[in-house]
Structure 1
Amino acid sequence: RADPSISIEEDGPLSATLRIEFVLRLPIGLNDSRKSRSEEQVDCQVISLVTLRNGARRVDIKTRINNQARDHRLRVIFPTGLVNATTSCAEGQFDVVERPIARPDTSDWVEQPMFDYPQRSFVDVSDGEYGLAILNKGLSEYEVREDKDCSIALTLMRCFRFQLCMRNVGGRWLDWENQPDSQMQGWHEFEYAIYPHRGRWTDSDVFAQAHGFNLPMRMVQCGQHQGALPKALSFLTIEPKTLVPSGIKLSESGNAIIVRVFNPTSEKVKGTIKFFRSLRSVRLVRLDEQAVEELKVKNGSCVEIEAGPKQIVTVEITPQRQIGD
């Protein structure tokens, strides 16, 4: 265990940040037999900046680690306290994958399983009444531990000696010691966030929080000019929140806008896409933008869509005014 030093890094009207510093004393690596850790130890400095922004519903964390140890995995553990939760839910490719927390009896299995699973931008645990989502930027491995706190473990780094099994050379392992980057030595930075919420992930805006954390709003300053747009405006409005936007782009023809959404739930979802200006036409298209059918425009700027369970839906929107006007 390490004794942390905690100080106030920032305390302003828009955000407050705590700075937490400590040193992890870890074995330098595996011993020569590669069956246990070395008795020799090294210091690994850890600095975490914990930020809460005004009006935010999540806590953002940025952790920097000076890794001097080899052959180890470093994780952050979040005790959820959701002891009645039975499954975890993690974002996948156009999906949210639900997995059981309970471990099966594997005493008679030849090969023991791993309970580390892949994720994209979040993993969520809920007991139905309350939930806790851990958001991340580029940290693709998690585990929900079957312990008294139903803890979520987020992997920051895996440090290992790169080896390759050469079956055509007697089935022996060959070390590639000339590729030391697999040990992740030196300073590394990781970003993740804690987002508590009510209900399950489908009842809250976990997706919006996770994607907003990964792709924050970009501000652009421009010069003085004339314009007819109001001070507050949404380019697109997609409802309900269980329809997740995955892409907005110009069509390959250059004359329309392609909007792609997906339904990660296990139920059919009916929703709407509303554009900020009047529409000439809307078509349901395939991923390659080939037309499937015309969709009816309602109230001049809105279209209704339907997405089956785990379905991707792509529409082509043509505004009344030419794009760029």
Structure 2
Amino acid sequence: MFASEGDPEILWIEWYVTFRLLRDARRVDVSVELFWKTSNRRIRVAFPTASTSNTGTYSIPGGWLERKRYEMKETHLWSPNGDWPAVNFVANKPRKGKPGFAVINYGTPSARIENGTMFCSVLRSPAFGYCLNHYCINYPMPTTGTKDHGWHFFEFSIVPHFGRMPDLALQADARNQLLPTTLAPAGTMPRTPLLAVKGSGVQLVSVKQPFDEKQNGYVLRLLNINDRKTTATLTFAETRGLRVRECNMIEEAGKPIKRFAKGVYRIALGPFEVKTFVVSAT
């Protein structure tokens, strides 16, 4: 679809929307291809639902918050003006016996729920004064980039849910971290994983080298995405000389963690708690 409206701030806008229904997938993928040339305007992608609520759940780092709609009254250039931050997803509430819906975004973390419709802001075109509004449209000055003209591509996924926010948060976060799949030659992959992490709502946030280059081993960081306590089970394939110590965020290690079984450790996590561990060989 395309349009050229009688708005002096909009020179051209054109868009294409593609919906992809994948076999055996409980989601609908949506891609938006957009060309625009505007000033002082905002583009939102709208996802209408049968709900009429103005309250929704918005993803934040390490969790989520339920927030109500607020009106767009700000006039400051830097104001979100009606939007809430939604790091990975925004969701409305399930209705009686019927699922709610969530919109997973991939890098456009600004959303609003209005009368049941979920809006995701994808572009804003602030312009400073008459010069940027009109003069730079015809002359290639460096400041033309402030309006972000040209083609843009955005992706979303629509998924149903029944209020289990930890499951939704894990799915949204996982889909935002998918890496390209590579094929390994036969026989080169271990039969058992080097590390297995199990636990309801437990997320392996990072596996990395220690800050201290002289220290051997690696660092694990776990996050409990639940709003209640849970237990994480770590199972290591290599157990010879294995030592697991909890540490603080700057990796100052404490006492070793007691082993539950050979190569198996159980970690208690409070609601939304983050714990970090140093794994090394003695």
TM-score (norm 1): 0.70
Alignment partner of 1:315 is 2:282: no
* Aligned pair partner of 1:140 in 100, 103, 109: 109
Does structure 1 conserve the Cα–Cα contact (< 8 Å) formed by 2:125 and 2:147? yes
Relative contact order (alpha carbons < 8 A, sep ≥ 6): 1 or 2 greater?
2
Letter in 2 for 1:190: F
Offset from partner CA, 1:185-217 (integer Å, 9 cap, x none): 111111111111223313xx2223212322224
> 2:266 matched to which residue of 1?
304
Does structure 1 conserve the Cα–Cα contact (< 8 Å) formed by 2:94 and 2:101? no
Aligned-residue offset at 1:59: 1.6
> 1:294 matched to which residue of 2?
256
3-state DSSP class of the match of 2:5?
Answer: strand
Distance 1:55 1:234, change over 3 A: farther
* Aligned pair partner of 1:156 in 117, 122, 127: 122
Question: What does 1:25-104 correspond to in 2, within 5 Å?
Answer: 25-30=4-9, 42-83=11-52, 87-101=55-69, 103=70
> 2:205 matched to which residue of 1?
246
Residues of 2 paired with 1:26 and 1:212: CA distance?
39
Offset from partner CA, 1:229-270 (integer Å, 9 cap, x none): 33x7584323112x2332121334563232212234443333
> 2:165 matched to which residue of 1?
201
3-state DSSP class of the match of 2:171?
Answer: helix
Point out where structure 1 has 5 or more consecutive residues left out of the alignment.
Answer: 1-21, 31-40, 164-172, 321-325
Alignment partner of 1:185 is 2:145: no
Residues of 1 paired with 2:61 and 2:120: CA distance?
19
Residues of 1 paired with 2:131 and 2:2: CA distance?
34
Does structure 2 conserve the Cα–Cα contact (< 8 Å) formed by 1:126 and 1:200? no
Does structure 2 conserve the Cα–Cα contact (< 8 Å) formed by 1:58 and 1:196? yes
3-state DSSP class of the match of 1:180?
Answer: helix
> 2:88 matched to which residue of 1?
121
Distance 1:154 1:234, change over 3 A: farther
Aligned-residue offset at 1:141: 0.7
Residues of 1 paired with 2:119 and 2:54: CA distance?
16
Point out where structure 2 has 5 or more consecutive residues left out of the alignment.
Answer: none
How big is the alpha-carbon RMSD for the aligned residues of Structure 1 and Structure 2? 3.4
3-state DSSP class of the match of 2:173?
Answer: helix
Letter in 2 for 1:124: A
Letter in 1 for 2:3: L
Letter in 1 for 2:251: E
Deviates more, 1:208-217 or 1:182-191: 208-217
Distance 1:299 1:192, change over 3 A: same
Aligned positions, number: 267
Does structure 2 conserve the Cα–Cα contact (< 8 Å) formed by 1:28 and 1:70? no
Does structure 1 conserve the Cα–Cα contact (< 8 Å) formed by 2:197 and 2:204? no
Identical aligned residues as a percent: 21
Residues of 1 paired with 2:61 and 2:163: CA distance?
23
Alignment partner of 1:237 is 2:197: yes
Letter in 2 for 1:26: E
Residues of 2 paired with 1:311 and 1:292: CA distance?
18
Does structure 1 conserve the Cα–Cα contact (< 8 Å) formed by 2:21 and 2:29? yes
Aligned-residue offset at 1:319: 6.3
Distance 1:315 1:27, change over 3 A: farther
Does structure 1 conserve the Cα–Cα contact (< 8 Å) formed by 2:219 and 2:278? yes
3-state DSSP class of the match of 1:210?
Answer: helix
Aligned-residue offset at 1:116: 0.8
Does structure 1 conserve the Cα–Cα contact (< 8 Å) formed by 2:194 and 2:238? no
Does structure 2 conserve the Cα–Cα contact (< 8 Å) formed by 1:90 and 1:122? yes
Distance 1:228 1:113, change over 3 A: closer
Letter in 1 for 2:219: I
Letter in 2 for 1:261: L
Deviates more, 1:128-137 or 1:69-78: 128-137
Residues of 2 paired with 1:114 and 1:208: CA distance?
28
Residues of 1 paired with 2:252 and 2:259: CA distance?
19
* Aligned pair partner of 1:263 in 224, 227, 246: 224
Aligned-residue offset at 1:162: 3.7
3-state DSSP class of the match of 2:108?
Answer: coil
Letter in 2 for 1:153: F
TM-score (norm 2): 0.79
